[in-house]
Amino acid sequence: MVWEQNVRVVVMVTALRHKDQVMCDKYWPLERGTAHHGDIQVTTVTRQQGPEYSITTINLRQGACPTASRSVSHFHFPCWPDRSVPADVASLVSFTELVRRELEAEPRLGPAVVHCSAGVGRSGAFVAFLWLLQLCVRGVPPDVRAAVEDLRLHRMGMVQNLDQYLLVHQCLLHWLRSGASARPQAQGAALNVTPRGSSGRGGHTGRRHQQQQPPPPQQQQQQPPRPRRQTAPGGRQPILNPGKLLRRLLPHSP
């Protein structure tokens, strides 16, 4: 599939094993070396290991095309338990930002592949958060509920439970507060990052995040101009689905 679809980015958000259960086969060499899967040759070229995740450059060759090879970037985040959420939101945010930058830098040769074990819970939460980051960078106000609903039209059961749904909100808020490169484009928008129907206990309500004191005049002069929000024709609400962002992550349904 990776060869056929000309995939250049693979994101894996599961460990190989959880206790005694196999969550995913080791389809690439963890260290430098070569593995064969049928007529596909998989070679690990470089590997960068961090505390929470790793990035591996993989070279692919196919038996039918011995002279043709392709380079694939493999992003692995193993610290995410099945049907649960990772303990450290900051590390997941950093990991997702690296993936987003890689997708922006790579030419659009083929779709990215995101997988865990079942391919719905952790994969859905990751894709939802990544998609919302891509929207924020383009100045589109993020709507978590609408994004998850749209993803479920493409694959049933994406974002498996309430904890994972809340995780998307937490990651998005952490990214916006951390001074990410795209924050100036999104901070002027009315962000809908609180689950609809929530009572807002603990003071975490959508309105509270919007009620920010204006900066002093000297700071206002230093801020870059805010880009225009993307709106639908006729002045309706901002468009959630600009361009073909989602098609870069999921197959397009005819």
* Domain hosting residue 107, numbered range: 9-194
At residue 163, what is the residue type? D
CA–CA distance, 149 with 132 (Å, rounded to integer): 13
Report how far residue 23's alpha carbon sits from residue 15's, in angstroms, rounded to the nearest whole number.
7
Question: Where residue 38 sits, what CATH number does that domain have?
Answer: 3.90.190.10
| 225 located within any domain | no
Catalytic hit among 24, 116, 136, 171: 116
pLDDT for 97: 96
Q: Is residue 84 part of a domain?
A: yes
Q: Is there a domain that residue 205 lies in?
A: no
Structural domain contains residue 158 = yes
79 is a catalytic site residue: no
Number of domains within the chain: 1
As given in the structure block, the two tokens for residue 250 are 């999921």
Yes or no: say if 125 and 221 are a contact pair by the CB < 8 Å rule. Answer: no
Could you read off the pLDDT of 78-93 as tens digits, one per residue?
999 998 999 999 999 9
Q: What would the mean pLDDT of 97-124 be, rounded to a whole number?
A: 91
Assigned domain for 36 exists: yes
CB under 8 Å to 44, separation ≥6 — which residues?
A: 28, 29, 30, 31, 32, 33, 34, 56, 57, 58
The Cα 28–Cα 26 span in angstroms is: 6
Q: Is residue 210 part of a domain?
A: no
Both ends of the chain: CA-CA distance in Å? 19
Q: Quote the mean pLDDT of the chain.
A: 78
Higher model confidence: residue 184 or residue 17? 17
208 in any annotated domain: no
Q: Domain for residue 166, yes or no?
A: yes
Higher pLDDT, 50 or 221: 50
Task: Choose among 230, 247, 226: nearest CA to 239.
Answer: 230
Are 135 and 155 in contact, with CB atoms under 8 Å apart? no
